[in-house]
Amino acid sequence: MSQQDNHNLLKEACTQYAVADARPLPPGKMTFEQFLTWADEDTLAEWVEGEVVLMTPASLNHQRLAGFLIVILREFVTTHDLGEVLFAPFLVRLPDPLKCAREPDLIFVSKERLHLLKPTYMDGAPDLIIEITSPESLERDRNIKFKEYEQAGVKEYWLIHPDTRQAEFFQLQDGRYWKIQPGEDGVYCSRVLPGFRLNLNKLWEEIQ
């Protein structure tokens, strides 16, 4: 992938990470179909138990980390013809009995699960979800979404913490998430992306 391609991907990512729409929230609860009608492609919001949850604007460090991850993941996935990498805003409707549609920062969908992709959302669990945390989202990402993604069968879950320059990696085994530590060299090896190695030292170079 050329330097110009990398630049274009970063520009695309930054454009897509729009501030949540300032429109008033609809009264009462709504179905998922009603939520899709109410929201648009610039709305950063999630649907949880029939209610709308607006997301806070992303920080500069969040943007930089997301852009870096989009570039390296897309390059690897495209080169090896593994599936597709998508980024917010794009909804993931988790399977029943969970009644929520989340908007992860990044997802990887393997070729075997591409049929779950709809025009405006994914109807099922992706293979990999990445959340870049903020002080506002940490509790939700580390506890609530952790349990939801585990129950939904998301095979791998990454939590990237810009404020502390730390990362947590979880892999699903026998229906439960197990924390996988990077090697002593600071490199994490993915299971759902065999051969992909994330160098955390290079990741943190992207932020101040």
On whether residue 177 sits in a domain, the answer given is yes
On whether residue 12 sits in a domain, the answer given is no
On whether residue 132 sits in a domain, the answer given is yes
User: Which of 17, 9, 89 has its CA nearest to residue 59?
Assistant: 17
Q: pLDDT band for 54, please (50, 70, 90 cuts).
A: confident
pLDDT at 41: 73
On whether residue 76 sits in a domain, the answer given is yes
On whether residue 158 sits in a domain, the answer given is yes
C-alpha distance from residue 77 to each of 110, 188, 193 (Å): 9, 16, 8
Q: Average pLDDT, stretch 200-207?
A: 94
pLDDT at 88 over 50: yes
**Strand locations in 59-164, DSSP E?**
83-87, 91-93, 100-102, 106-110, 121-123, 128-132, 156-161
Phi and psi angles of residue 150, each rounded to the nearest 5 degrees, phi first: -60, -50
On whether residue 53 sits in a domain, the answer given is no
The total number of structural domains in the chain stands at 1
CA distance 88 to 105: 5
Q: Average pLDDT, stretch 136-158?
A: 95
CA dihedral of residues 145, 173, 73, 92 (deg, nearest 10): -40
Q: For position 120, which CATH number holds?
A: 3.90.1570.10
CA distance 5 to 183: 30
Mean pLDDT value across the chain: 87
Q: What would the two tokens of residue 174 be?
A: 């026998």
Q: Which is more confident, 5 or 198?
A: 198
Containing structural domain, residue 197 = 59-204
On whether residue 48 sits in a domain, the answer given is no
